[in-house]
Amino acid sequence: MDLSAAGKPTERQAHVGPRCHFGLSPAGQVTWAKTRSTALTQYLVECFVHRRYLHSLCQSVALSADRLSSMSTEVKPESVSLCPLGTAAAPEQELLCIFGTGDFGRSLGQRLLQSGYRLVYGSRRPHSCGPLPQGAQVMSHVAAAQSASVILLCIHREHYGFLDKLAPQLEGKVLVDVSNNLKMNLYPEANAEYLQRLIPGAHVVKAFNTLSAWALQNGPSDANRQVYLCGNSAEAKQAVTEMATKLGFSVLDRGSLSAARELEDFPLQLFPEWRLPLRLAVGFIVPLYLYLLIRDIVYSYVNQGKDISFRLMVSLPNTVFPIVSLIMLALCYLPGVIAAFFQLYRGTKYKRFPDWLDRWMLCRKQLGLLALGLASLHVLYSFIIPIRYYVRFRISKNTISQIKENRTSEFETTVAWWSDSFYAMGMLGYGLFVVLGITSLPSVSNALSWKEFSFIQSKLGYLTLFFCTFHTYLYGWNKFLRPDYYKWYTPPAYMLSLVVPSVVLVLKLLLLLPCVDRRLTRIHEVTAAAADADSMCRKSSRYTVDNKKTFSSLSLFSDLSGSMFTFPLQTNRAHVRLNTSRDDFGALTVCHRSFTDLKRDHILFSLAIPSNANGFLIFWDDTNKEMEIHIKEKKAEYYGLDYKPNMWHSVCTTWNSESGLVQLWFDGKPSIRKLVTVGSHISGRMIIMIGQEQDSHGGGFDIKQSFVGMMSDVHMWDYVLSPCEIQRYTDDINYTPGNVLNWRALEFQIFDNVVIEDKLMTCH
């Protein structure tokens, strides 16, 4: 890929090939540099010593390829402008181009200038466009496109049409698409994909669209600091990542351009996870309020002729809020209990729950936080009770009448007990509720181990529910059986609120019965689960469990950096399922590291689709000493690999349906490219696993093809990784993690005897 400035295509092209070679075998380059610049030499030597700089070197060379090309003839200290060492000469600012001088273009331009970039605008009216940030130049689109290698398109998608005329100038450039639409699904394809189709020769990156012009103007401290990006070219994404980082944003790579639609939908969504809980809250509050209105206010008016409508303001809300809060808190725990009964009934934890239960589980956090909000309102409303006019009036009236009638009332210990217990339960319940709310915030929950998190959310959660329910029972303690409380034969509202929490608590008690609990524990304890939970908890700082997913499909979601799966036994059961929601691939790269001493055929990676068990397979054929890559019906065989036992091997396999070519990178060394399946995608529901080879979709295991040994760093991308990226993966230095399977955020299920362990096997 060529990221250099336009104008010298042939010279630039000459640098495309050696660019990475330049980074990865620095010795020769050091001599080259010595003759030219001491600063550069020092940089290269440093880079060689600290191999982690190789990546940045690669990038800096990529970005200043144009400048480097001229360096081969003369010394230009500024060509090391991106060098991380302070010893380099004053950096030359990089030139960027923005198309469109509208709101977003101007705001983004301002930030880029503030961050030290040089800027040129491309406009339809270069001489008459509005005020632009100071220091920026403005030119015609053609001239501006020629001057920079990264072009940010700050124009609406509807106007992209004119770009096809600029195709020659945009060839090989990075085009950053920032556009959003007014509505979801307005166009059949995402804006960024449309742009890529218009200019196939450019490298389109979708980025910045989730920021607003306003946020950009207000600086990073006020802005939403996250920039999401996606694109098909790793180098182009790297260039945009560096730019966004320089602007003060943190960057999240969402994968290939096919994720653009998702990014474009982001700004159009209004609190998607909150929708159901909010609807529920409103759905409870409104009818309950009406119910109370009729039972209290209308009833008094009709039966006793009293106007107590003032109660609409404080008394009624202060009854509705705690009731709805308690019901919603109980609804957070009900799905967990239902799920446990499902598992008891089915006798396994590996079957999926019905969709409605999954959806319900996924919004528990929002349900809980809304319930906490309503409980907090109840606390606030209760604080003002003593200062209410109505209450003060009642107290003084009572006192005066006692004086007048010369009456005294006796102190009743039972009433004192009741009232203190009632308040104590309420306060304890609320206190724990706040703890639950705080620990559900990502920043807090990330700092907790899985055990701590589940202790708080489960054990303390049930305790909270118990306190709050008991608080409500105490509220009604002597009113349950008094007929005058059943106005118009309707039960008081607080009684309605007790139904769901009581059911949840009773069901939970049933689950705690020793015989039921034992059975449930057995279901949960399927072999390795205990071992892996334990080993992962020891690395608690890194181990986070997405509790939604764990509780629903009971798959784990974890950062496995520094860990490996150990397959300790030869069986036809042990395997790890790697989950992805993707169901269509036109290209892919799979990288993994394995360690084994098997002297027979064995599987390394198995992806099956319903129509083909060998959808994508990496298999060692020991008889012929060859690595086989199967893609649907076809296979490619690779001979002459140095596949030694008892050592780690890094294997990357790339395939692209357009060319149909497959390539194997064994320990960083490329194979020849071989033709397999052309034109047809791998599509359908994917079942991906390591440890066993699938002869049918999700099954058909053969013990003689199973894997015994260790497996680590499994990543999968939906595009062909560049040689540079593969080299970085092999060296384990700063590579882009997989966007389909990511070892650092892997969703997986362990079956049978597989253990998660620390990868470190030698002592340093």
Ligand X SMILES: NC(=O)C1=CN([C@@H]2O[C@H](COP(=O)(O)OP(=O)(O)OC[C@H]3O[C@@H](n4cnc5c(N)ncnc54)[C@H](OP(=O)(O)O)[C@@H]3O)[C@@H](O)[C@H]2O)C=CC1
Closest to Cu ion by CB, 215 or 428: 428
Determine if 209 is a binding residue for ligand X (CB under 6 A).
yes
Least CB distance to ligand X at residue 142 (A): 13
Least CB distance to ligand X at residue 513 (A): 56
Determine if 709 is a binding residue for Cu ion (CB under 5 A).
no
**Gyration radius (Cα) of the chain, Å:** 33
Dist CA 710 CA 719 (whole Å): 26
Determine if 103 is a binding residue for ligand X (CB under 6 A).
yes
Determine if 133 is a binding residue for ligand X (CB under 6 A).
no
Angle (deg, nearest 10), helices 493-512 and 514-524: 70
Determine if 104 is a binding residue for ligand X (CB under 6 A).
yes
Q: Is 604 helix (H, G, I), strand (E, B) or coil?
A: strand
In sequence order, which ranges of 410-553 are alpha helices (DSSP H)?
413-439, 442-445, 450-454, 461-475, 493-512, 514-524, 528-538, 547-552
Determine if 335 is a binding residue for Cu ion (CB under 5 A).
no
The first and second tokens of residue 341, run together, are 């009964």
> Is 546:570 a contact under the CB 8 Å cutoff?
no
* DSSP string across 286-342: HHHHHHHIIIIIIHIIIII----GGGGTTHHHHHHHHHHHHHHHHHHHHHHHHHHHH
Dist CA 750 CA 341 (whole Å): 22
In sequence order, which ranges of 64-173 are alpha helices (DSSP H)?
65-71, 103-114, 141-147, 167-170
Chain position whose Cβ is nearest to Cu ion: 426
Closest to Cu ion by CB, 231 or 426: 426
Determine if 162 is a binding residue for ligand X (CB under 6 A).
yes
Piece in contact with ligand X (CB under 6 A), picked from 153-161, 462-470, 490-498, 726-734: 153-161
Number of residues that bind Cu ion (CB under 5 A): 2
Determine if 366 is a binding residue for ligand X (CB under 6 A).
no
Q: CA-CA-CA-CA torsion for 644, 646, 650, 655, nearest 10 degrees?
A: 60
Determine if 110 is a binding residue for ligand X (CB under 6 A).
no
Determine if 260 is a binding residue for ligand X (CB under 6 A).
no
List the interface residues with Cu ion, window 453-472 (CB under 5 A): none
Determine if 637 is a binding residue for ligand X (CB under 6 A).
no
Strand partners, 120: 97, 137
**Would residue 700 be called left, alpha or beta, if left means φ above 0 and alpha means ψ between -120 and 50 degrees?**
left
Number of residues that bind ligand X (CB under 6 A): 21
Those residues whose C-beta lies under 8 Å from the C-beta of residue 205, and which sit 6 or more positions away, are: 174, 175, 176, 177, 192, 229, 230, 231, 233, 236, 237, 240
Q: Which CA distances in Å does 481 have to 477, 492, 570? A: 9, 11, 67
Determine if 317 is a binding residue for Cu ion (CB under 5 A).
no
Closest to ligand X by CB, 192 or 574: 192
Residue 605's nearest CA partner among 652, 558, 674 is: 652
Determine if 671 is a binding residue for ligand X (CB under 6 A).
no
DSSP 94: P
Least CB distance to Cu ion at residue 471 (A): 5
User: Dihedrals φ, ψ of 374, to 5°?
Assistant: -65, -40
Closest to ligand X by CB, 58 or 154: 154
CB-facing half-sphere around the CA of 708: CA atoms within 13 A: 15
Among Cu ion, ligand X, none, residue 426 binds (CB under 5-8 Å by kind): Cu ion
Helix %, strand %, coil % of the chain (to 5) = 50, 20, 35
Chain position whose Cβ is nearest to ligand X: 102
Determine if 159 is a binding residue for ligand X (CB under 6 A).
yes
Piece in contact with Cu ion (CB under 5 A), picked from 210-218, 231-239, 320-328, 458-466: 320-328
Among ligand X, Cu ion, none, residue 390 binds (CB under 5-8 Å by kind): none
The first and second tokens of residue 179, run together, are 């556009």
Closest to ligand X by CB, 145 or 178: 178
Closest to ligand X by CB, 124 or 697: 124
Determine if 139 is a binding residue for ligand X (CB under 6 A).
no
Determine if 124 is a binding residue for ligand X (CB under 6 A).
yes
Piece in contact with Cu ion (CB under 5 A), picked from 14-22, 319-327, 520-528, 559-567: 319-327
Determine if 102 is a binding residue for ligand X (CB under 6 A).
yes
The first and second tokens of residue 445, run together, are 């929950």
State the binding string over 379-418 for Cu ion (x if CB under 5 A, else -).
----------------------------------------
Piece in contact with ligand X (CB under 6 A), picked from 176-184, 332-340, 472-480, 487-495: 176-184
Dist CA 118 CA 95 (whole Å): 5
Least CB distance to ligand X at residue 156 (A): 4
List the interface residues with Cu ion, window 417-446 (CB under 5 A): 426
Determine if 180 is a binding residue for ligand X (CB under 6 A).
yes
Determine if 501 is a binding residue for Cu ion (CB under 5 A).
no
Among Cu ion, ligand X, none, residue 166 binds (CB under 5-8 Å by kind): none
Which parts of this chain interact with ligand X (CB under 6 A)? 100-105, 123-125, 129, 154-156, 159, 162, 178-180, 209, 212-213
